[in-house]
Amino acid sequence: MSRDRTRVARYVIARRGEVGLTQQGLADRAGVDIKTIYNLESGERWPQAKTRGALEAVLSWYPGDLQRIAEGGEPVVYERPPSRRELLADYIRTRMDQLRLTWADVARDGRIPEEELHDLRRQMIPEGHVKLGLERALRWEPGSIDAIVDTGKEPATVHRWPEEQRVKPTQGFTEEEVRQAEEIAERVRNDPELARAVATLLGFRSPGHDGADARDTA
């Protein structure tokens, strides 16, 4: 991917001046070494994703703005820190632009019904199978949406959605059965007690089981 580091350097220097920070001040507030700032403002080195996120936050830019600037776009300056929902919405828009996806594409690839897609676009609070479907469509690692909402962490991308996270319709299941199975799997992942109950029901050894019952009855 082509990046215009010189353009980024100009924008960072200008924005740093607008917010009244020296290179050292920006480095301290972002929790990075001053050499990182020097390298960025001289166009010598492109910072890692975690560092970019920290710098964007200090400069009151939205996540992904450094990349947008490098690609010829403009940063989005906010007067207050964005809410987690706003961050999620921005990450979704950015990722859709990267993959050149429309909402119709997201609905198709994520197997999200039209009514639930409408609710997602209006509220940006994905749950259950909608959350899984959105992560699949955007090629984010499972759990990425929870990470954004809980900590503001930048989502990790995957080249291909893990096969074990879904059931193919070609295996003889209907779309509705697939949706229900994914929703149940999501509940099990998020509820340790339910996971143990399912493991017991299926005859699997539950976490922490060390065979003590068998020794006690021996």
Does 120 have pLDDT greater than 50?
Answer: yes
Same domain for 103 and 144, yes or no, is yes
Q: Are residues 186 and 131 both part of a single domain? A: no
- Domain range for residue 33? 5-70
Count of structural domains within the chain: 3
Domain end, chosen from 24, 43, 70, is at 70
pLDDT, one tens digit per residue, over 11-47 is 999 999 988 889 999 999 888 999 999 999 998 889 9
Q: Determine, yes or no, domain membership for 208.
A: no
Q: State residue 42 phi and psi, 5-degree precision.
A: -95, -5
* Confidence check: pLDDT of 3 > 80: no
Q: Is the pLDDT of residue 102 over 80?
A: yes
What rounded mean pLDDT belongs to the chain? 79
Asked, for residue 78, whether it belongs to a domain, the answer is no
- Single out the residue of 94, 66, 76, 73 nearest to residue 5, CA to CA: 66
**Secondary structure of the chain: what % helix, strand, coil (to 5)?**
65, 0, 35
The single-letter code of the amino acid at 172 is: G
> pTM above the 0.85 mark?
no
| Average pLDDT estimate for 54-66 | 86
* 91 and 157 inside one domain: yes
